Amino acid sequence: MAIKNAQYQIKDGQGFSIYHYETNSGQSVVLDANKNVLGTLDEFMFKGKVVNTGTIKDLKVSGLYKIKGLSGIPTGVAIDKTSILWVSAVGKTNLPDFINYQLISQNGDIFNKTVVGSVESSWSSGGTRLENSINTLISNFGELSALNTKAKGSFVNAINEVNTKVDTTQTNLTSLKTSYDDHNHDSRYIKKSGDTIEGNITLPPTKGFYAKLTDGSSRNMIGTLSNGDIQLGNKLSVLNLYSTNDLLHNGKKVWTEVNDGTGSGLDADLLDGLQGIDYAKATTSNTFKETNTFSKDINVNGKINIGKYNVNYSEDGISFNLGSNKSVTITNDLRMNIDHLFMDSTKGLEKGIHWLSGGDEFALLTNSSSAAGELWMWHNTNKGVSERSFGIRKDSSVAFDKYIAISGRNLYMQGSQPSGSIPDGSIWIL
């Protein structure tokens, strides 16, 4: 079937009249350049021509399209959902000189794209996306009415106002710097290069002055603590205090190993944790409350008091004063001067006086196993032989264990005749 464009003229009483026939959009078709039917006018004008394959650039006839599955659509538009596309083509059918594509997604985003000959633009956004972008800009930049500038009509005017103020400020700063460089700052400032401070400097709590070391670290020199204390120096560094004369604390001299010692006037409270009363003094009397042990000799130039008794040293010797005019003196020639000598034998022990001469021993004993309660002169030889010489018995009689020698003669008093060498003139009493 061929489609023809026709104009019909019908003769009436006065000549020929041209008649036009009525039709609907569903019956009217849209043809391409080769007279091929592309669709109905109802599709292209009202319902939208449905296209589910191909690419956007294949659609070159003006009209309304409902597309899904086409390539070349804007990024972010779902390809599996239907979008509305409006094509406006200028020029020959299927070979237009200029085409404008407008795509509306189901999200309300509007995109535009133009193709002029072989040159095509990228998709630009509008609609909901444009509105969202504008709202984002407003959220980020704020409303013009919220500007603190006097000019609120536009951002350009506001920025120009700020720029004018910046230029003014820069001019003022330049002038201030020039004034600063030329000014000597009188007495209100401290120079970094060094200055003389004529007033007090107050440090707030926990602040201080610091010294920088050669390694770049800092050390506190003086500062205030949160509890009100003042800190001088730092525990990580040695603090050296120098003074021409003595160093004073609260007006009093501070002692060191340089100025202490004899004549310094130092009165220490404790020595090795003990008070001065705990030490014996060389220039005063001392009372020892505990037993003392001496590992070296004790040299005494005066007397030694033992309770109510004393031991006294003099050039003549040593005297032991026992009270009530009783004393014992040992002279330099080892002689003993004694008024009375008492020996106690009540405890059953041998008490006496012993003399040593070479290997022999002589003793005056008041008690022995064989003569309890008697006083005897004993003789022990260096060979271990012990013999009694004579003694005073309990009945006050004098007893001799051997003979009595008188002027070279012997007096024997024994039950048997004497034996051995007997001097002439000796007497034997049976």
* pLDDT, the chain, mean: 81
List, for residues 309-364, the tens digit of each pLDDT value: 888 877 778 887 877 777 788 887 777 776 656 555 555 556 777 777 777 877 77
Adjacent-strand bridge partners of 338: 328
Distances in whole angstroms, Cα of residue 232 to Cα of each of 93, 210, 236: 97, 11, 12
pLDDT at 181 over 80: no
Whole-prediction pTM: 0.32
Of 288, 291, 285, nearest to 303 (Cα)? Answer: 285
Top mean pLDDT of 296-305, 334-343, 362-371 is at 296-305
CB of 87 within 8 A of CB of 65?
yes
pLDDT at 280 over 60: yes
Q: Which residue shows structure tokens 């002689």?
A: 335
In b/e form, how buried is each residue of 145-158, taking b as 16+ CB within 10 angstroms? eebeeebeeeeeeb
Query: Picking from 10-14, 87-91, 338-342, which range would have the lowest pLDDT averaged per residue?
Result: 338-342
The pLDDT value given to residue 341? 60
Tokens of residue 323, six digits: 């009270």
Q: Which residue shows structure tokens 């030889």?
A: 381
With pLDDT > 90 as the criterion, what percentage of the chain qualifies?
A: 14
List, for residues 118-176, the tens digit of each pLDDT value: 899 988 887 666 777 777 777 777 777 777 788 877 878 888 888 888 889 999 888 88
3 state DSSP class of 141: helix
Band (pLDDT 50/70/90 cuts) for residue 31 is: confident
Tokens of residue 54, six digits: 């191909």
Domain boundaries, the chain: 352-429
The pLDDT value given to residue 68? 94
With pLDDT > 70 as the criterion, what percentage of the chain qualifies?
A: 89
Burial class (CB in 10 A: 0-12, 13-18, 19+), 87: buried
The pLDDT value given to residue 73? 92
* Mean pLDDT confidence for 353-381: 72
pLDDT at 183 over 70: no
Q: Which residues contact 15 (CB under 8 A, 6 or more apart)?
A: none
Q: How far apart are CA 389 and CA 387, in angstroms?
A: 6
- Type of residue numbered 118: S
* More confident: 23 or 74: 74
3 state DSSP class of 186: coil
